[in-house]
Structure 1
Amino acid sequence: MTVQLCAALKIITLMKQQAVTQKQLKKSLIEIKENNELLRDLSRQDALTGCYNRRGFFEELRKRLSNDKNEGEKAIMVFADLDCLKTINDKFGHEEGDFAILSAAKILKHSFGNSEIVGRIGGDEFVVCAFLDNAIDIPSMRNHIEAVTREYNIKYAADKPYIIHTSVGVYPFVCSATLEIGELLSHADILLYEEKKRKRSILKSDYE
């Protein structure tokens, strides 16, 4: 009986140790999963602005375009360029340049809302994909971005020796899983170039 009792106690002890080990293992697996998700998110995120980086933007947009509920829905691709970043860096330093980049990201996020996909794909280049419930009105959209930009400059950059502003190209499209994201960006980039060229001609005429 003593031998049987000792054996039973040993088995109970081993079972308790096994339960503790399983609990610790489960906790470790949860921590590993959470860390992997964090690393995945960091690999898709721009460190300065918190926007998606190029990889994150492409992955998130591909996921949205592949979603059946978005098939046939209207959307826009916006290619935005922070004006005069090189001048800000050269004259006022890279810390001010970072402030301007971060400000441009905040302006775009505020202009389109948190549900839209906002990415920083280059030093001064941003992209936004917005899915629209209403008819696409590009002039009104530009006016809205301008209004948000003016408000931001008044509230948060009034003491700066420069104005934070972006040029944008807006390309409307209809969602489909077969769309090439790079092609959408190219169309928006062409419209951005035309917008910058138009702005340069206006500035030139102002000084003539």
Structure 2
Amino acid sequence: MSEAISALAGANTEGFARVSELGLHGMITVRGNQSDAAFAKAVCAVAGVDALPAIRKMVGTLEGGIAWMSPDELMVFVPYSQVVERVGQLNETLAGQHFLAVNVSDARAVFGIDGAAAREVLAKIAPVDLSPEAFGVGDLRRTRISQIAAAFWMSGEESFRLVCFRSVAEYAFKLLGTSAAKGGEVGYF
């Protein structure tokens, strides 16, 4: 069996913000009734967090967290080496319930956008109000960046994390890098 590699082997670029491909992360798409206590408990246990996220929020980190994706869909983040085990745990715990848990780790790419002007990088390419009053730490949007689907959240005061399909990882990296290039600062925020 071949060894797993990330979409862009940790590529990064530095402009007025840093853009980095963040390597392999375990990602599980989970669909089910988020208001069901047994479902919520099982998903939280797998992710290692205390509660499901509110609408358009992210709780935890890329090593153990949950992103709200839609009223019946969550993205669970776990260490890459544990994703198969965690999908099995969900399947066992939720047996008999109506749900879906799928390992999508190798179908996605993850990027970091870091620096004092990180929000400006995304504001230039996504139809989202990224003003500090409207978008803060833990906020998440599932949207588009230019021509591709993506989800991103603010992971810290000067940091964002973005997930997109692996098939468009190179496009996403170049787009983010161009948006972050020195000389392209807007200075709006």
TM-score by structure 2 length?
0.35
Q: Kindly indicate which of the two structures has a greater share of residues assigned to helix.
A: 1
TM-score by length of 1: 0.32
> Structure 1 or 2: larger strand share?
2
